[in-house]
Structure 1
Amino acid sequence: MLITLEQVLSKDEVRQFRAHLDGADWEDGARSGGTLARTVKHNRQLDDSAELAHSLGNHIVRTLGAHALFVSAALPRKIYPPRFNRYDVGGGYGTHVDSAIMHVADSAMSVRTDLAATLFLSEPDEYSGGELEIEGQFGAQAIKLAAGDMVLYPASSLHRVAPVTAGARVASFFWVESLVGDDTARATLFDLDSAIQQLTPVLEASDARLLKLTNVYHNLVRRWATT
């Protein structure tokens, strides 16, 4: 299941983020890649331990906690602290798959990477190339969103970032461990929750049909969730 979330950050928030990030110290992104991934990873990243990474990342996590669509789609249990990357001209990231388990540095926390997220911090007209290409059942889908928008997709997918040919692509990326690890089950719950949300404004809260659907939803969560 691939979902686009619009305006996770407002344009004003994006401007504030970029004011900090455009003057930040960036390091070679290959340092954080796995054995295979680092051979095809050509970008720069903000040091995960930097205070700027912590403060901006915490802002994203707080914002997502109040984002109804994200909560419905991800059913988050843990969120890996957001990272930040920059692709300049010639930068790109060849086809790779994310590690199944990510360990958070300087902590005992680990995250099973059920979902991956990319939050775009550059407008599409700021750079050429740089599309996030995600392989799925029906081929690869190229994603290039407005600044402040985010894409959420299965971390099990092969994916890549096309080479940047002009400008610079700045983004945040992270992973989510869901309460429901199975992607098909999670997609079913999302569809059911979406239907309930669409019916809620047009049916009385006491309507037996709405109550039955809500009961089914929560019973399925009980069946499939791990805590």
Structure 2
Amino acid sequence: MYRILPLLTEAEVAECRRIAAASHFVDGRISNPHNKAKNNQQLHEPNAGQASAQLILQAFGRSEEFREFAFPQKITPPLLTKYQPGMYYGAHADAAFLNLGNAVVRSDLSCTVFLNDPGSYEGGALHIRLGDASIRFKLQPGEAIIYPSDTFHEVERVTSGERLVAIAFIQSRIPDPFRRNLLFDLNEVAALEGLTMQPENFSRLQLVQSNLLRYWSDKP
């Protein structure tokens, strides 16, 4: 249902922090004035936003683990957001569709990229409810968590320090989460065990992988 993966290098984390420190942030409700649950700040300088977004998108592009888990079709430009003492994002589910100029992105998966040390701030955990489970995350700098956008989740109140993250939303080629997770598991087994199989059987397994992707995925 979710995946934690290493995404950014130390140099990329440092560059995101540098951009954040040198840039102007505004009330996060600027993008949704009626959202009473939202109490954070987001980057509001186009050039800085483009630079940080491009850096993180390039990291997504080189991550094989990300591609195999998310089957990404579209990704929103990652947005730097920060939480200072007293700030939070109350329990919510992400919007189903996001407008990006002339394009629309369906939010199948949400992603949070952590950018500062979890010991540098108190509170601020990403709290996700998955069925009956309730899980909290404060990851290391450069690590990302990907989870279903239709889950109830929140950012708990920061009590000291500053929480700096980037957020993005992903439209998957396989919108159904059951099928997406099943194909991910099948691909992982093929990667781990494929070389030990008889060549003919491995070829048959690869045919199954390709056909499931062909018939389950959104058409290009």
Contact 1:133/1:143 (CA < 8 Å) preserved in 2? yes
Shift of residue 34 of structure 1? Answer: 6.4
> What is the alpha-carbon distance in structure 2 between the residues aligned to residue 109 and residue 218 of structure 1?
28
- Which of 133, 141, 152 aligns to 2:135? It is 141
State how far apart, in whole Å, the 2-side matches of 1:163 and 1:45 are: 16
- Specify the alignment match of 2:192 in structure 1: 198
* Unaligned segments of structure 1, at least 5 residues: none
Instruction: Name the aligned partner's letter for residue 4 of structure 1.
Output: I
Paired position in structure 2 for 1:73: 69
Answering whether residue 8 of structure 2 is matched by residue 9 of structure 1, we say: yes
Name the SS of the counterpart of 2:146 in structure 1. strand
CA contact (8 A) 1:180 1:186 kept: yes
Question: Alignment partner for residue 43 of structure 1, among 40, 45, 57?
Answer: 40
Task: Give the % identical residues.
Answer: 30
Match of 2:88 among 82, 89, 92: 92
Match of 1:188, SS? helix
- Tell me, what secondary structure is at the counterpart of 1:192? helix
Root mean square deviation of aligned Cα: 1.3
Of 165, 168, 186, the match for 2:162? 168
> SS at 2:196's partner residue?
coil
Moved over 6 A (4+): none
1:142 aligned counterpart, secondary structure: strand
State the shift of 1:139 in Å. 2.0
Amino acid at match of 1:155: S
Distance of 2:67 and 2:33 partners within structure 1: 29
TM-score (norm 2): 0.95
Which moved further from structure 2: 191-200 or 110-119? Answer: 191-200
Q: Equivalent residue for 2:28?
A: 29
Structure 2 unpaired stretches of 5+: none
Find the counterpart in structure 1 of residue 177 from structure 2.
183
Partners of 1:12 and 1:60 lie apart in 2 by: 12
After TM superposition, the score normalised by the length of structure 1 is 0.93
- Whichever residue aligns with residue 40 of structure 2, its letter is N
Q: Retained in 2: the 8 A contact 1:119–1:172?
A: yes
Answer yes or no: is the 8 Å Cα contact 1:29–1:43 preserved in 2: yes
Q: Could you tell me which amino acid in structure 2 is paired with residue 203 of structure 1?
A: T
Contact kept in structure 1, 2:12 and 2:55, CA below 8 Å: no
- Aligned residue runs from structure 1 range 106-117, under 5 A: 107-117=101-111
Count of residues in correspondence between the two structures = 219
- String of CA shifts for 1:52-92, please: whole Å, max 9, x gaps: 11111011112211210000011011001111100001110
Q: In 2, are the aligned partners of 1:130 and 1:169 still within 8 Å (CA)?
A: yes
* C-alpha contact 2:110 2:147 (8 A) present in aligned 1: yes
Distance 1:191 1:34, change over 3 A: farther
* Residue in structure 1 matched with residue 213 of structure 2 by the alignment: 221
Measure the CA separation in 1 of the matches of 2:145 and 2:152.
15
